Structure 1
Amino acid sequence: MFTGFKKMAALAGLAGGLGGLWMPVWAASPTADSVPLLAQAEASTQQVPSADPAAPQSGPAAFPASAPVRMALLLPNRGGMFGAAADAVRTGFLAAYARQKENIQLSVIETGDSVSDMQRAYDDASTRFDILIGPLSRSAVTSVAQSGHVTKPTIALAQPDLPGEAEPQLPPMMLTVGLSIDDEARQVANWVEKEKAPGKIFAVSTAVTWQKRAARSFLTRARQLGLQVETLELSTPGNVLSAPGLAQLAKRIEQEKPALVFAALDASQTVQLRSAVGAELPLYGTSQINPFTLNRDNQNDKMPELDGVKLIDLPWQLQPDNIAVARYPRPTGNENDRPNPDLARLYALGIDAYRIAYEIAQQRSGFDLDGVTGRLNVNMIRGGATYFQRQETQAIFQDGLPVPTADQY
C-alpha cells in the first residue's frame, strides 16, 4: 500500500510530494501526432458562454467564440515508470471532461518520461493547442517555466523545483496547481496560529525529503506569524521511529511543556509518536496522516490511536456529501488492490485541473471554485501576474477516522 508523499514518489517519480527528477526511458519523445488520442470532443456549434459580468474582462487568451477551444493534456506514457500516477490524473481529468465538454476539443498526449521529452512535447503542443495542461513533475514544470516558451495558458500539475523557500517566478500564462506538502504545512501553521495556547511548538520529522520540507515550510510560516518553533529530526532504523529518539523527545516534552507538536510524518509514524508522548499533547499534521480513502474496502479499518489528532486533507478524501465531490464517480481499481489514498488524490487533481482549464476556456480570468481538492482561487490575466491558492479541509480523528471539523478557517 502506498501511504505517503514519500511512497507516491516511487509511483510518480515525484520525490517529496509531486517532486523529484524524471529518468529517461525513451531516446526521443514521439511526435504528438503519433501518440494515441484518448479523448476528443465533437466540434460543437454551441457558442462559448459569455464571461461573468463581475469578472475582469481581459481574459487569459482570445479564443474564437464559435470554434472549439483546443486543450492538450500532456502526461507520461502509460507504460513508463510513472504510468500509475499519470493514469490517475488522466482518469480524473476525463471524468470531469465527460460532465462538461461543451465547445472543448480535448487531446491527451503521451510523452516520454524525461524532462527533455516533456519539454519537446510541450513545445510542439503549444503550436497547435489553445490551452495546455501539464507537466506532472516538479523538474519538468521548472524546465517549462524557465524555457521562455510559455505563450499559451498552461496549467502545470506540480510546483516548480526551487531551493529553500524561494517564491516561484512564473511566466504570465502559467498556473501551478499541483498538490503540495509545503502548502499543506503552511496551511496548518495558519490554523495553529488561530487556536493554539501560548508556548513553544515542536515540528517533528525524519530525514525523508518530503518530511523535512514539510517541517521547514511549517517553521517558516509559523515564525512569520510570530510563533516559536523548533524542528526535531528523528532517525528511522528499520523503517520505524527510533525508540531512544522517541524517549528523548518525550523527556523534552515533559520538561519544556510545548503548546503542541506538528508531525511531518505519515500515519504509522504518527501512531508511534502519539504512543511515546501521550494523547494529551495537541498534535497536528498534513494529509499524509490520513491513510484512508472514502471507498475503503474494509469499513472496520480504523486508527483509534490517532483520535484527537488534527490534520488537513482534500475534500475528496474527507467529504462524500460535498456537492463538488458527489458529482464525480470514484475511480475503479483492481478488486484485489487496497484503495490507494495517493492515487485518489491524483485522480482528484485531474478533476480540478480540467475544471480550471474549462473556466479559462470561457475567458474567465478570475474565479473561485469549490473544488474536490479544496476551495480554489484562480487569477490568470493576460499580460499580468497569475495567482492560485488552494484551501484544504480541516479534520480531526474521531473513532479512528478523520472527520471534517465544524469550523474552517
Structure 2
Amino acid sequence: MLIKSLKAWRRDGESGLMRAWFACLFAGLLLSGCSTVCLEPEELCASGNANTSLHPRASAVLAPEVPAAAPAPAPALEPVDPVRTAPIYLPGQDAGTARAANPAVSPAAGTARIALLLPLNSPSLGGAAEAVRAGFMAAAERDGAGIQVDVVPTSDNPDEALATYTRAGAAHDIIVGPLSRPAVGALIASGKADKPTVALNHPEVRGTLPPRMLVAGLSIEDEARQAAEWAAREHPHGRVLILTGSPAWAQRAAGAFEARWSELGHTGQRFALPSSDGRVDPALLQDLKARLEVDPPELLFAAVDVAELRQVRTFVGATLPVYGGASINPGRTPGLGATELDGIHVVDLPWLVLPDHPAVMVYPRQADPETPLYMQRLYALGIDAFLVARQLAAQQAAAPAAASSIDGVTGRLTFGANAGLTRREAAAIYRDGNFTPVEAGP
C-alpha cells in the first residue's frame, strides 16, 4: 500500500531532511527580510511582524522531549476512496509548478476533494512544509474516509503560489494553504479566494478576510493574550512586570499581553532583558533582582525564551509566579526536568503539554523522538488543518452550521461562517519535567 511505502521513505529520509534544513538555517537563508513563512522565534526566515508561533527547541537547554507513549488506535476500516499520501502532481505539472487543474483520477461520487498546497521543494521552507504535510496525512490516514487529498507542491513566490491556488481550485472542493505569509497576503489581495480555504499562516497585516477563508496559523500574540486572561483570573488585583527580550517576536508577545492586561483593568510595567548568544548580562540580572526586592510585582510575564528564563529564575529565585507562551516551554522530560523552572505557567499546544488528552493520543507521533519542538508544532498544525478541512467538507455536504468546534491537537478550535477561526491553547503548569493541565478559561 502507498501509505506503508511512504512511511519507510520518511524514516530513511527524515534525518537527511533535517540536516538539510539546519544547513539552510546556518547558511543565512532565513534572514528577517526574506519572503517566507514566519515561524519565529525559531527563525524560519521571516519578517519582523509575522504572526505564527514557533519557539526554541528544548534540546538547546534540556534533554530532548520524550513523548508519552500513545496507545494504538482502534483498527479503522479501509476507506473506499483513496487518500493520497505523497506529493501528487496534477497532469502536466513538474515539481514546484502547477500547470493543469484536472486530477488524474476522478474521485468517486460524494468524495470531497482537498488540495494541500505546500512549498515542498523550497530550499528555505521545504522542511517546514514537510512537517505540515506529515501531520496532515497522518490525520487523513486515520480520519479520511470519503476524502481525496492531493498534495500539490507550490513555489514560495507569491505570484506563482497564487497561480497554483487558482488551478488547484478548479479541481478541488477545499484548498489548504498557502503556508508563507506573503502568499497568504497575495491571495487575500487578489480577491480570488473563491473556494473554502484554510490558510496555514496569518497575513502580515491582519484585517478582513475573504468570506470563504479561515486562518489556522499559530499566533504568538494569541498565546500572550490567553496568558493575560489566565493571569488575570488568578491575580485579579495583581501588578505584572513584563520581561521582554530583544527579538521582534518577543516585542510582539509583550505588546499583546500588555494590551490585553490593560483591557482587563490591570497595570504593569516592562523590563528589557536583551541577551547575547543566549546569555543575559549578569548586571541586568542584578538590576532585575534589586527592582523585584524594592518594588515587587505580584507576577511576571516572560516574553523571553526558555534559556533566558532559566537564567532569570536561577538568579532571582522562584518566588514570583511566571506566565508565558510556548517560548518558555522546556519540553517534556519526566523525572529529568529543570527544577529552576518548576511552577511556570505555560500556554502551548495540547500536542506538547497534554499528550494523554483523548483528542491528542489518537494520532501517531513523529518517528524521531528528538524532533525539535518547533517541528512538532508544525506537524500538529498539519493534523488540525486536516480536521478543519474535513469539517468544512462535511458542512458543504449538509446544511452549513452556524459555528463548529473541534478539540484539536493545537487547541480548541471554533470557526463558522463570517466568524473566522479562534484557538484556545492548553494551559499547564510545569513541574519535574512534566505538565499539569489547568482550567484557564472558556
Per the TM superposition, whether the score is higher than 0.5 is yes
Paired residue for 2:375, among 340, 343, 349? 343
**Which sections of structure 1, spanning at least 5 residues, go unmatched?**
21-27, 45-65
2:419 is matched with which residue: 381, 386, 392? 386
C-alpha separation between the residues in 2 aligned to 1:41 and 1:260? 58
Q: For the residues of structure 2 that align with 1:370 and 1:41, how far apart are their CA atoms?
A: 33
Letter in 2 for 1:391: R
Give the aligned partner of residue 231 of structure 2.
192
Contact 2:122–2:155 (CA under 8 A) maintained in structure 1: no
- CA deviation digits over 1:233-259, x for unaligned, max 9? 222133312222222122222111111
Q: CA deviation at 1:110?
A: 0.7
- Structure 1 residue 223: Cα displacement: 0.7
Report the Cα offset of residue 42 of structure 1.
8.3
Tell me, in whole angstroms, the C-alpha distance in 2 between the residues paired with 1:390 and 1:106.
24
Moved more, 140-149 or 340-349: 140-149
- The equivalences for 1:9-408 within 5 A come to 9-10=43-44, 13=46, 18=52, 30-33=97-100, 43-44=107-108, 66-78=109-121, 80-162=123-205, 167-196=206-235, 198-292=237-331, 301-333=336-368, 338-363=370-395, 364-365=400-401, 366-379=403-416, 381=417, 385-405=418-438
State the TM-score, normalizing by the size of structure 2: 0.75
Deviation at 1:232, TM superposition (A): 2.4
**1:6 aligned counterpart, secondary structure:** coil
Q: CA deviation at 1:102?
A: 2.4
- Cα distance change on mapping 1:227 and 1:199 into 2, 3 Å: same
SS in 2 for 1:312: strand
Question: In structure 1, what is the Cα distance between the partners aligned to 2:99 and 2:298?
Answer: 55
Cα distance in 1, alignment partners of residues 276 and 43 from structure 2? 21
- Secondary structure in 2 matching 1:8: coil
Amino acid at match of 2:366: P
Under a length normalisation based on structure 1, what TM-score does the superposition of the two structures give? 0.81
The answer (yes or no) to whether the contact 1:13–1:82 under 8 Å persists in 2 is: no
CA distance in 2, matches of 1:341, 1:126: 33
SS in 2 for 1:248: helix
Aligned partners of 1:291 and 1:341 also within 8 Å: no
Q: Which amino acid aligns with 1:305?
A: E
Report the Cα offset of residue 205 of structure 1. Answer: 1.5
Q: Which moved more, 1:153-162 or 1:249-258?
A: 249-258
Q: Deviations over 1:119-160 (max 9, x none)?
A: 222222222221110111222212211211111111011111
TM-superposed CA distance for 1:43, in Å, is 3.6
Does the residue aligned with 1:119 lie in a helix, a strand or coil? helix
C-alpha displacement of 1:19: 8.1
The 3 A distance-change label for structure 1 pair 32 and 332 is: farther
Identity within the alignment, %: 37
Tell me the distance in 2 between the aligned counterparts of 1:393 and 1:19. 14
Deviations 1:195-248 (A, max 9, x none): 115342111121101111100111111111111122222221333122222221
What SS does structure 2 have at the residue aligned with 1:362?
A: helix
Does 238-247 or 316-325 show the bigger shift?
238-247
Among 40, 51, 65, which residue is 1:6 paired with? 40
Distance 1:142 1:210, change over 3 A: same
Q: Deviations over 1:352-374 (max 9, x none)?
A: 11011001101143211111111
1:173/1:386 contact within 8 Å kept: no
Provide the residue aligned with 2:64 in structure 1: none
Give the residue type in structure 2 aligned to 1:306. L
Change in Cα spacing, 1:103 to 1:18, as seen in structure 2 (3 Å) is same
Stretches of structure 2 that go unaligned for 5 or more consecutive residues are 1-17, 23-37, 55-94
Q: Distance in 2 between matches of 1:282 and 1:5?
A: 28
User: Structure 1 residue 170: deviation in Å?
Assistant: 0.6
Report if the CA contact (8 A) 1:200-1:259 is conserved.
yes
Aligned residues of 1:17 and 1:179 also touching (Cα < 8 A): yes
Q: Is the 8 A contact 1:263 1:284 kept in 2?
A: yes
C-alpha separation in 1, matches of 2:390 and 2:280: 45
Q: For the Cα contact (< 8 Å) 1:141–1:159, is it kept in 2?
A: yes
1:406: how far off?
Answer: 5.7
CA distance 1:404–1:41, shift in 2 (3 Å) = farther
CA contact (8 A) 2:41 2:249 kept: no
Note the C-alpha offset of 1:408: 5.3
Change (3 A) 1:137 1:233: farther
Q: Distance in 2 between matches of 1:310 and 1:403?
A: 10
